[in-house]
Chains A and B, each alone.
Chain A
Amino acid sequence: MPVPMIEAVEVAKTFRVRARRGGLRRARTAVRAVDGVSFAIEPGEFVGYLGPNGAGKSTTIKMLTGILTATSGSLRVCGLDPSRRRGALARRIGVVFGQRTTLWWDLPLRDSLALVRRMYRVEPAAHRARLAELTALLELAPFLDTPVRQLSLGQRMRGDLAAALLHDPELLVLDEPTIGLDVVSKATVRGFLERTNAERGTTILLTTHDLGDIERLCRRVMIIDHGRLAYDGGLDGLRRTVAADRMLVVELARPGPRIVLADGETGAGPIEAERVEGPRQWLRLPRAANAAAVVAALARDHEVRDIALRETGIEEVLAGLYRGDHAYWCSGRPVAP
């Protein structure tokens, strides 16, 4: 069996926070930012790591890279203990913190990339080849000689990606790499990550709030909430498990009374339109409802102009999860607490 790229067993991180209690009194409280997280990521996987703000994503990433030391639990990345073997690990992984930059602000991008070669002791020939490849894939050529401070956010992010990958790491850890990027830049970054994973076999762990990133790139997602892993599995599984309702929007010929469908017409209990706006009405169909039967009943009893059935997007699924809305979260494969 191959060694997992990342193996976390009951990893926890506690921060001590001092809060004001009026006047000069301070109370020390312990905050468990990560509260016993276990998972394994195999070589070649592309995993999305999701969760609301403050859920513990960035803390996890900083433990994975050895910047922070776990309070308890065991963590191996590339077979190494990150906090003890930080230097050795850094040579084998690449990290991009979307909101920060590794590049030298006042110097041309080319110089920052040259320093990466010195830092990771890459052979000059290998470096030249890799730089040429990354320059082509990330379209860096037009701004290689521009000081980093003059780059647009999208250009800078591409520069940071190149810097993280120049030493050809086995694992790439990305903390919100598309934050603030326009659609074109996002597409470039996503296409690049997809190729890096598919062609070089680089394992990628991606933290993001951009669900477009997740839907396009990740076969597997892990969701962390309140420091605990709430879900670990496929994206499709996530959609299925959260028992998503569908929304039927029906436009009638003229405004009418609120539509009510009887039990026999839906296959899943009676349904009443939850919203009425003039001739338009919105009916929420539970997963068990038979949409075809509902449409047939509507067409029989009303003069219907138009009809649209909307699947719940991944965004609504997650919003439900983050709110702790357990109506969304009733079956499937949540990680055992």
Chain B
Amino acid sequence: MGVLPWVWWYGFRRHLAYPMGSLAEALTNTAFGFMRAYILLALWEARPSLGGYDATDAVTFCFLTQALIEPVRVFGGMDLTQRVRTGDVAIDLHRPVGLQSWWLADDLGRAAGSLALRGAPPLVAGALVFGLRGPGPAGLAAFAAATLLGVLVSFGLRYLVALGTFWLHDERGLQSVTMVLSLFFSGMVLPLVVLPGRLGTLAHALPWAAQLQVPADVFLGRLTGADLAAALAFQAGWAAVLLAAGAALTGAARRRLVIHGG
């Protein structure tokens, strides 16, 4: 067995290393979930069945996406970015393991760890207060697949941002632009189903839709059969494109590399 499953396992464990911090973040996610839920409820009271969602769909979407904030890293960022900035990436580049595959394994471990620690509280709180809509066993399996693909897409995007630091030497500009794009086009601000006309079409075609909107629609049971297969293929397609771009850019980054800080 290669080293990557172990990198995944270590990534998982290192995200379980600070349970109190994770709990505090989960509580914050839950509190914000209530704020978002009441805003969405106000909207759905004025416009019932907006975008094909009913009020329960909207509230479920809200708490589910709150639970997935950290697993899919909606706000962006990864440790690699810091390591490029400080020059610690020299350590990563010395390893006899590809940079992207190493960090992908670590990131999948991170996602699993944060799902374990931070996934349940918003969903449980939302279910107790509002009553949420959930999938059956088959839907749950589809949801797991959609979430995994969402994490892959999220990693692909964040890895490209991290590589951008090799060129820009500072990630903040790129990070804030991609964070705004991610928040809006993943459905974190409003479910993408409410976006009208061309904006809605565009939003559904961009890779950020694969992060939250698709997993949420699978969770709500709105995608079945051919629609479900198409949605998963949409996610897998973006994941493949982004990971291929990451692989190509890794080679380019290597060639123009400057290690910071001596």
A residues apposed to B, CB below 8 Å: 15, 53, 58, 62, 65-69, 86-88, 90-91, 95, 97, 99-102, 104-107, 111, 114-115, 118-120, 147
Contact = CB atoms under 8 A, between A and B. Distances in A.
Interface of B: 1-3, 6-7, 10, 13-14, 17-18, 87-88, 90-91, 93-97, 254-255, 257-259, 261-262
B128 to A, nearest CB: 33
Contacts of B94: 65-67, 86, 90, 95
Contacts of B254: 69
A224 to B, nearest CB: 14
Given A58-B262, A115-B7, A97 B91 contact: yes
Contacts of A65: 94
B10 A120 contact: no
A67 B257 contact: yes
A115 B6 contact: yes
Contacts, number: 67
B10 A111 contact: yes
A44 B33 CA distance: 63
Contact of A87 (B7, B91, B96, B255): B96
B90 A118 contact: no
A101 B91 CA distance: 7
Contacts of A115: 3, 6-7, 10
Contacts of B91: 97, 100-102
A87 B93 CA distance: 9
Nearest to B257: A68
Nearest to A160: B91
B82 to A, nearest CB: 12
A87 B10 CA distance: 22
A104 B10 contact: yes
Contacts of B96: 86-88, 90-91, 119-120
Contacts of B1: 118
Nearest to B4: A118
